[in-house]
């Protein structure tokens, strides 16, 4: 059975490709290589023994999208990761984000609604909740006005899918709202490869420990949290990848309760920045060089998931702890640096 993974050379896409292949699916990766390298295919093949089909084109090209669907008429499902995802960049260049993240979604849905049956998983984000009123956050928490064009594209993306499913019963879709994906595959053949200076906490920690960065700046310790630093729900990327496999199989097996569903994907546990640093030092034995600086504009205080719906309806549970994820991130960082 053929499944297409757009953005499949990326961090979550590559890990999801591994899980799909190991479950017996034939995966076609679609990627324009704007934010990931084709060499990720080697890592996937080293883990599974199967090199995914790879189609390199830009989903912003409507004709290329149409051609792709003609080339693969037996596609059973699409998992759509391809998008720009840097919050800060989206503020500086909103049109890049609205074009890249939304036009590509529309083109894919236009093709999918031409098919007799279509199964679609959308990469959404807990960003849609903004600073939620109550913790943990469940799927009924109100979607707040987006703090960035990036977050807005996730909100609008979900609405586009919801409205399309309303009038296309043959389209079966799920949006997965990720919390904070971290870590790497235990084989250390694939992992997170941020381009340039990492924006996210965990790759900045591991690069600092490797001596690539002078020190980690902790963005504020004066928040109303137990240790003053922000709280997030850090989920191992392999747990997140497995959630995509389970969600796709829910659709393929017709187990979904409606033709559009939304699930939070997190661990259900909040961890502060300091707790992440302590976890890293515990698993690596490497003291981390960091300093407390001012708050980062746009940061929310706390976000962690109520995972009851994914646990009870999807039958999915996060298996890995924060230490497991930090250990895998560190092993990956050491391997990448050794090879380059």
Residue ranges that bind ligand WQD, judged by CB under 6 A: 85, 87, 125, 127, 180, 199-201, 204, 216-219, 230, 232, 273, 296, 299
Going by the DSSP 8-state scheme, the letter that residue 227 receives in this structure is: T
Q: How far is the CB of 152 from ligand WQD (least distance, A)?
A: 11
In angstroms, the CA 16 to CA 180 distance is 16
User: DSSP string covering 38-87, please?
Assistant: TTHHHHHHHHHS-PPEEEE--TT-HHHHHHHHHH-TTEEEEEE--S---H
Return d(Cα 279, Cα 183) in angstroms, integer.
12
Shortest distance in whole angstroms from residue 154 CB to ligand WQD? 8
**Shortest separation between residue 180's beta carbon and ligand WQD, angstroms:** 5
According to DSSP, the residues that pair with 178 across neighbouring strands are 125, 265
CB 159 within 8 A of CB 104: no
CB of 289 to ligand WQD, least distance (A): 12
Residues 6+ apart with CB under 8 A from 277: 205, 216, 218, 288, 290
Residue 143 zone, left/alpha/beta (φ > 0; ψ -120 to 50; rest): beta
d(CA 106, CA 198): 30
Q: Give me the sign of the Cα torsion angle 296, 297, 302, 303.
A: negative
Shortest Cβ 223–ligand WQD spacing (Å): 8
Q: Which residue is nearest to ligand WQD (CB)?
A: 230
Which residue, 85 or 327, has its beta carbon nearer to ligand WQD?
85
Q: Exactly one of 150, 234, 260, 304 is catalytic; which is it?
A: 150
- Nearer to ligand WQD among residue 24 and residue 142 (C-beta): 142
Is the Cβ–Cβ distance between 312 and 138 less than 8 Å?
Answer: no
Is 150 an active-site residue? yes
Catalytic machinery residues: 150
């Amino acid at each position: 059975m053929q499944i297409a993974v757009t953005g499949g050379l990326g961090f979550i896409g590559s890990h999801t490709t591994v899980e799909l292949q190991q479950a017996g699916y034939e995966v076609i990766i679609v990627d324009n290589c704007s934010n990931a390298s084709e060499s990720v295919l080697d890592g996937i093949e080293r883990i599974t023994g199967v090199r995914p089909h790879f189609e390199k084109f830009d989903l912003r090209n409507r004709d290329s999208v149409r051609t792709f669907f003609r080339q693969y008429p037996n596609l059973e499902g699409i998992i759509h990761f391809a998008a720009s995802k840097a919050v800060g960049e989206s503020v500086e260049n909103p049109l890049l984000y609205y074009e890249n993240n939304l036009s590509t979604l529309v083109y894919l849905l236009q093709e999918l609604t031409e098919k007799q049956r279509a199964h679609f998983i959308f990469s959404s984000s807990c960003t849609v909740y903004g600073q939620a009123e109550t913790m943990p956050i469940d799927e009924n928490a109100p979607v707040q006005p987006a703090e960035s064009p990036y977050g807005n594209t996730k909100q609008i993306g979900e609405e586009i899918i919801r409205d399309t499913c309303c009038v296309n019963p043959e389209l079966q879709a799920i949006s997965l709202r990720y919390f904070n994906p971290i870590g790497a595959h235990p084989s250390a053949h694939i992992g997170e490869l941020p381009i340039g200076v990492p924006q996210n906490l965990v790759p900045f920690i591991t690069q600092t420990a490797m001596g690539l960065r002078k020190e980690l700046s902790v963005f504020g310790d004066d928040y109303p949290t137990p240790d003053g630093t922000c709280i997030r729900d850090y989920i191992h990327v392999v747990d997140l990848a497995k959630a995509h496999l389970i969600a796709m199989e829910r659709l393929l097996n017709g187990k979904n309760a409606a033709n559009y569903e939304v699930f939070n994907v997190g661990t259900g546990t909040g961890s502060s920045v300091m707790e992440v640093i302590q976890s890293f030092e515990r698993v690596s034995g490497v003291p981390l060089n960091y300093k407390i600086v001012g708050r980062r504009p746009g940061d929310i205080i706390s976000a962690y998931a109520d995972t009851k719906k994914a646990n009870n309806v999807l039958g999915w549970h996060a298996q890995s702890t924060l230490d497991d994820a930090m250990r895998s991130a560190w092993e990956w960082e050491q391997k990448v640096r050794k090879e380059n």
